[in-house]
Amino acid sequence: MESYGRTSPLMALALAFVAVIWVSPFAWLVTTAIDPKTTGVLEIPRAIGIDNFVSALSGTAGLQFVNSVWLSVGTATLTVIVAGAAAYPLSRLNLPGRNLLLWGLVLLRLLPSAGIIVPLYFSALSLHVLNNVGVMLALTVLNLPFALLLLKNFFDSVPIELEEAAYVEGANVWQIVTQIVMPLSRSGVAVVWFFSFTSAWNEFLLPLIFARTDTAFPMSVGLFAAFGQHGAVDYGFLAAYSLVYAAPAVIVYFLLRRNLNTGFAGVGVKG
Amino acid sequence: MASQTSPWLRSARGPMFVAMLPAIVLIVALIYFTGWAVTYSFTNLELTGPNSLNWKWIGVDNYVRLFTRQGFLSSLWVTVIFTFFSAIVGQSVFGFVLAAAMRGLRGWGRTCVEVALMLGWLLPDIVAAFLWQATTTDIGFVNTLILQPLGFPPYDFLANYALVVVIVANIWKGTAWSYLLFSAALDSISREILEAAKVDGATGLQRTWLVTLPIIRPHIATNMLFITIWTFTYFALIYALTGGGPGSSTEVLSIFMYHQSFGVGKLGYGAAISIAMVLIVGVLSVFYLRQLKEPK
């Protein structure tokens, strides 16, 4: 029974052990963040307070939080709109060589993004977008191949008959797209939005090179700059900052979890 | 498949082509950037100095330099070790074992383990780097919680076993993906097949090796494809955790390329390194895709 039946107590114990090991670095982060008097050693907090969180959300740190939100929501929304608008025609119209094109683009994206950073940098410089808007545009370009492929595969699984029926009933293109196609593709769009959001939220290398002042940094570069500084390390501040930085990615995942699971089934393992 | 003659599609053709325009512009930009990067790799372009303006074509010199100069080959070796142990062995095997072990588990127990795994995956790279740096230094909790109670002196893992720490950190971070994929794959296997194998007298190990693994072979190949590409070109976690050091013990190819391009300023050589990375990843991908296509 062991490989597909009920779990034995020994197995449950082993799994519990794995779970404890997995969350223990995270536990350190939490106990350090809520303890204003922390020294960075793992221990029961000597005091509990929100001082660390206050300093992680005020001044420059707060500005960096706003930068990250603006950057990630902007990138994800732009990616979904641009990719969705192109993926739907790609799925519906019989364009020759479309699959070859899509896989070719995905192959192109295997290039480590660091490899095209120099051309990206010079282009952003000449277009005067050497800032978070530039990062947003660059990330959208980089996200596009995977977003197109995933959304096209997803639209392929939405039956066209519904659209044709609506057309016969006299609905126009805009009504069909907004009232039939979009509601049916919610989970595919959620997957792409989520992946674009987290990749932008995570992105480190592009803003490291594009953003020059600490008030323009998103949180990834802000955190790196803060713990890269030598001298006395303020573990309480860094831990609180880390939690603030990690929270949106975790929250967005759990909000979209149901959509994501169906979306995974639809687009995840399809060739 | 959508038929070309449907009146709905005929009426929607115009708006559809207009809708594709922004994507076409950005795709052209992507191809243009890539072409530019390939072009750099045949020049002696540098970030600063005279060669930043008056660069010259130098043919394949940058590619010859990959094999004749110190650096590239040893960095490639570090990358291979990192990818093999953290992705192929660590994340993939561990993800499969967890997915198999959790098959019978339902309810809150399963949720707890899944949430624990997902936390690692969802944490931003730089947070994971900070966490593992703090965890493995001499006052980190591996020392305070495990070594000191056992009577050992504090030990700075990050300074002495940087590559091991980086590999463990990446296993911690990435296993959730493999777990999710294998979990979905195992759910697609019908119980009847496993029951039948059991009735025929197959042991647990035989059932896994001879029944389960062949069925989920496409999933294994898909998983390998993704995690190999991600791990081979991973930058942020390693760079933030060790910066490639101590020495060059954790200088994987992406960091080597970054150092050569923006540290030393040799943009042409850096471009050649990234093209070499693409070729290596490309060969590996073709290998995995063949495994994916092969009939069962």
* pLDDT tens digits, one per residue of A204-263: 888 888 887 778 888 888 888 887 665 556 778 888 888 888 888 888 777 777 666 655
Q: Which residue has the higher pLDDT, B28 or B150?
A: B28
What is the pLDDT, as a whole number, of residue A3? 43
* Interface check A205 vs B, CB under 8 A: yes
What is the pLDDT, as a whole number, of residue B107? 73
What is the pLDDT, as a whole number, of residue A74? 94
* Interface check A28 vs B, CB under 8 A: yes
**Cβ neighbours of A18 in B, within 8 Å:** 98, 113, 116
What is the pLDDT, as a whole number, of residue B3? 47
Q: Do A7 and B104 touch (CB under 8 A)?
A: yes
Q: Which residue has the higher pLDDT, B171 or B187?
A: B171
Q: Nearest-CA residue of chain A relative to B189?
A: A4
How much is the mean pLDDT over chain A? Answer: 79
pLDDT above 50: residue A185: yes
Alpha-carbon span A142 to A78, nearest angstrom: 12
Q: Please give the model's pTM, rounded to 2 decimal places.
A: 0.81
How much is the mean pLDDT over chain B? Answer: 82
Distances (CA, A) of A52 to A34, A64, A199, A235, A239: 7, 16, 27, 9, 8
Nearest CB to B2 within list A119, A160, A238? A160
Residues 130-159 of A with CB under 8 A from B: 140-142, 144-145, 148
- Mean pLDDT of the A140-159 span: 85
Banded pLDDT at B5 (limits 50, 70, 90)? low
Q: Which residue has the higher pLDDT, A46 or A5?
A: A46
Complete DSSP assignment for A186-206: HHHHHHHHHHHHHHHHH--HH
Which tokens in the block code for residue B69? 């100069």
pLDDT above 50: residue A109: yes
Q: How many CB pairs under 8 A join A and B?
A: 261
Residues 100-129 of B with CB under 8 A from A: 100-105, 109, 112-113, 116-120, 122-127, 129
pLDDT above 90: residue A1: no
Nearest CB to B23 within list A22, A86, A242? A86
- Mean pLDDT of the B147-158 span: 73
Q: Do B141 and A24 touch (CB under 8 A)?
A: yes
Per-domain residue ranges of chain B: 70-293
- Mean pLDDT of the B117-131 span: 87
Strand partners for B57: B43
What is the pLDDT, as a whole number, of residue B131? 86
Q: Do B30 and A108 touch (CB under 8 A)?
A: yes
What is the pLDDT, as a whole number, of residue A79? 93
DSSP letter (8 states) at residue B57: B
B215 three-state secondary structure: helix
pLDDT above 60: residue B92: yes
Q: Which residue has the higher pLDDT, B267 or A51?
A: B267
* Interface check A19 vs B, CB under 8 A: yes
Q: Do B257 and A115 touch (CB under 8 A)?
A: yes
Residues 66-95 of B with CB under 8 A from A: none
Q: How far is A147 from chain B (nearest CA, A)?
A: 11
Banded pLDDT at B82 (limits 50, 70, 90)? very high
Nearest CB to A114 within list B15, B33, B258? B258
- Mean pLDDT of the A85-96 span: 82
Residues 186-225 of B with CB under 8 A from A: 191, 194, 204, 207-208, 212, 218-219, 222
- Mean pLDDT of the B49-59 span: 77
Cβ–Cβ < 8 Å for A20, A233: no
Of the candidates A223, A195, A229, the residue with the CA atom closest to the CA atom of residue A208: A223
DSSP letter (8 states) at residue B161: S
- Mean pLDDT of the A79-97 span: 85
Query: What does the buried/exposed string (b/e) look like for A87-104 if buried means 16 or more CB atoms within 10 Å of the residue's CB?
Result: bbbbbbbeeeeeeebbee
Alpha-carbon span B94 to B214, nearest angstrom: 18
Q: How far is B284 from chain A (nearest CA, A)?
A: 11
Alpha-carbon span A114 to A97, nearest angstrom: 29
In the numeric block, the tokens 């930085």 are attached to A245
Domain A68-227+237-268 classification at class level: mainly alpha
Banded pLDDT at A173 (limits 50, 70, 90)? confident
User: How far from chain centre, in Å, is Cα B68?
Assistant: 28
Q: Do B270 and A148 touch (CB under 8 A)?
A: no
pLDDT in tens, A41-77: 666 666 677 777 777 777 788 888 888 999 999 999 9
Banded pLDDT at A78 (limits 50, 70, 90)? very high
A41 three-state secondary structure: coil
Q: Which residue has the higher pLDDT, B4 or B228?
A: B228
Alpha-carbon span A95 to A261, nearest angstrom: 30
Which tokens in the block code for residue A7? 């779990």
DSSP letter (8 states) at residue B71: S
* Interface check A4 vs B, CB under 8 A: yes
Of the candidates A177, A198, A180, A204, the residue with the CA atom closest to the CA atom of residue A81: A177
Q: How far is A19 from chain B (nearest CA, A)?
A: 5
- Mean pLDDT of the A129-144 span: 88
Is domain B70-293 given the CATH code 1.10.3720.10 in the classification?
A: yes
Q: Do A15 and B16 touch (CB under 8 A)?
A: no
Question: ω into residue A207 within 30 of 0, thus cis?
Answer: no
* Interface check A265 vs B, CB under 8 A: yes
Q: Nearest-CA residue of chain A relative to B34?
A: A116
* Interface check B60 vs A, CB under 8 A: no
